[in-house]
Structures are given as structure tokens and as C-alpha cells.
């Protein structure tokens, strides 16, 4: 049973190679928690959030909404208000107070083979807590 012998050998080698580790200098040890706090969320936590939030919508009309602390996003067709709220909080690190959702039906367009229709999509307008802000152009 070579597998079990290998595990025993690995355990013996691990015991032998445990040399005393040099501790971090105090300055580096103090900076480590600051760096972790500076990161909003790990990619693993925000992975589902990026499936909910397709993209921010940056137009003249939505830029004016930014003055009253509201931001517009294209969201997944299956996302509900709670998922959108959690996704905005995970990605941007702000607290949404209200989420309004609407469907934008695709417009009919003319093509070479006749009339067809653009895809229907879903838009969410998110109102943030007073004092919170999203810099749209940095992430758009």
C-alpha cells in the first residue's frame, strides 16, 4: 500500500521541516488589517453580484439622477429587488434604501430579411442612503 506509506513519509518530512518562522515586523503586522479593510469584497463574494448587475447605465438622464442620489443599472431578467440590493452593496460598498425595477421592451427594427425585434431587458433604479455615492465613470 504505497499510498499510505507516502502519507506517513510526508507527515515525517513536515515535522522535520518545521523551523521557527521569523515574525513580521510590527509595522507590517499593523498594515495587514488595514489592507483587508480597504478591499470592499473578494471576487468570490461578488461573483454572483456581477451576474445580477449587467452594467451601469450612463446616459444624460441617468447622470441627472445622480444628483438626487439615484443610479441606474441594467440587471438580469431573473433578478429580484433583494438580489439587486445585495449586489449593489457587495460591488460598490454603499447602502441602497430603495430599488425600483422595470422592463424595457425591445423595439422593432428593420433588417435585410424583414422586421425583427431587439432584446427585452430589465432596468433598476437604485436610491442610495444619504451621503453614499458611486463614481460611475471609474467602473463603467
DSSP designation for 75: E
pLDDT interval class at 139 (50, 70, 90)? low
CA–CA distance, 47 with 32 (Å, rounded to integer): 24
Question: Cβ(122)–Cβ(102) under 8 Å?
Answer: yes
CA angle at residue 24 from 18 to 25, to 5 degrees?
Answer: 150
Coil, helix or strand for 12? helix
Q: What is the pTM of this model?
A: 0.65
Q: Is the pLDDT of residue 68 over 60?
A: yes
As given in the structure block, the three cell numbers for residue 137 are 465613470
Give the chain's domains with CATH numbers: 43-131 (3.30.70.330)
User: Considering only CA atoms, which of 131, 137, 67 is closest in space to residue 93?
Assistant: 131
Question: Cβ(49)–Cβ(86) under 8 Å?
Answer: yes
pLDDT in tens, 78-97: 999 999 999 999 999 999 99
Amino acid at each position: 500500500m504505497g499510498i499510505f506509506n507516502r502519507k506517513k513519509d510526508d507527515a515525517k518530512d513536515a515535522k522535520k521541516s518545521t523551523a521557527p518562522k521569523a515574525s513580521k515586523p510590527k509595522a507590517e503586522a499593523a498594515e495587514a488589517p488595514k489592507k483587508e479593510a480597504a478591499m470592499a469584497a473578494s471576487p468570490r463574494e461578488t461573483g454572483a453580484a456581477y451576474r445580477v448587475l449587467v452594467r451601469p447605465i450612463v446616459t444624460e438622464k441617468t447622470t441627472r439622477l445622480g444628483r438626487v442620489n439615484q443610479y441606474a443599472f441594467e440587471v438580469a431578467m431573473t433578478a429580484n429587488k433583494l438580489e439587486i440590493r445585495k449586489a449593489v452593496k457587495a460591488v460598490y460598498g454603499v447602502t441602497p434604501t430603495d430599488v425600483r425595477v422595470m422592463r424595457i421592451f425591445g423595439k422593432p427594427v428593420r433588417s435585410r430579411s424583414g422586421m425583427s425585434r431587439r432584446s427585452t431587458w430589465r432596468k433598476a433604479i437604485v436610491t442610495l442612503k444619504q451621503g453614499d455615492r458611486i463614481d460611475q465613470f471609474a467602473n463603467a
